[in-house]
Amino acid sequence: MDKVSDALGLMLENENLVAFIPATSKALVFHVKSRVNRRYEQLNYGPLPLTSGTVLPTFDGGSVSVPANGVIPARAYTTGLMFPMSGAYDSSDMWYMPEDYRDRLFHVIQYVTPAFLRVDVQIPIAVTQGRFQKDKIVTGVDRDFGFARGSYEIVHLPKVHYGYRYGNETNANLYTFVRFIYAEYIIETPKNSSLIFDILTRRIPSHWITLPINVMDATVERALTEVYGITGFPLYRIDERDRALRDYDALLREVKV
């Protein structure tokens, strides 16, 4: 918990959230106006959306069928999974929102059972983002490193489908469960370039979430432009204030929310 988030790890109202994109060294800066699901942040989703009979790759080079709904087979890892929800804007992906939902942002902390499962996320789905030594090695749940275990914090950008991957290194077929602690924020971009500079130079407290984007896919770039009008604010050194403010003022003229 920092000064701008609560015990759940979610943003307090009237604080600033930074979503940083390593691939471009740019950040989206959001002012949280409201958290519409305050006091109802827990969503017990249930088992992973794995359907019996689905064929998954294994760590040992073969493939294996999912033995029962929600069960991750021994030594297997999933391809990108989305979380279906009936009635959602896109019923195959509960976290997906179109561009006209640009004033909404999902901040999601996912807890998976068993907690020792490997977890990573593809942004967009099917684009693996883990990298080592530039593009020399692609990392992720199917490799020895480049994954988290047990929990994962992220913000879901509108108009992008994320793909979550899970890996089970043990020799047991495991029942699974996912709990989301999430917030649906009403956000806006701060319209003051000086404020943005102070946030991005960490003079003003904010909650930073680094999106695991090491390869800027055209889908994401297009989505950012269509949703927010910009692909983010570049980071500047603290001694580059004048240059930064000029750049930010120009970007703020393009911002859609």
Please give the residues from 174 up to 193 whose contact with another protein meets the rule CB under 8 A.
Answer: 174-175
- Cis ω before 124 (30° cut-off from 0): yes
Name 69's Cβ contacts closer than 8 Å, sequence gap at least 6. Answer: 47, 50, 51, 52
Query: Token pair for residue 148?
Result: 């988290």
Minimum CB separation from another protein for residue 208, in Å?
A: 9
23 backbone dihedrals φ, ψ, rounded to 5°: -60, -35
Number of residues binding to another protein, judged by CB under 8 A = 29
- Residue 171 found at the interface with another protein (CB under 8 A): yes
Question: Exposed, middle or buried by CB within 10 Å (0-12, 13-18, 19+), for 77?
Answer: buried
Identify which of residues 157 and 174 has a Cβ nearer to another protein in the complex. Answer: 174
3-class SS letters over 153-197 = EEEECCCCCCEEEEECCCCCCEECEEEEEEEEEEEECCCCHHHHH
Q: Does 173 bind another protein (CB under 8 A)?
A: yes
- Taking the least distance from each CB to another protein, the nearer of 70 and 229 is 70
User: Among 3-11, 39-47, 88-96, 129-137, which window interacts with another protein (CB under 8 A)?
Assistant: 3-11
209 in contact with another protein (CB under 8 A):
yes
Of the candidate spans 28-36, 79-87, 90-98, 113-121, the one that interacts with another protein by CB under 8 A turns out to be 113-121
Binding site for another protein (CB under 8 A): 1, 5, 8-9, 67-68, 71, 74, 109, 111, 113-116, 144, 148-153, 169-175, 209
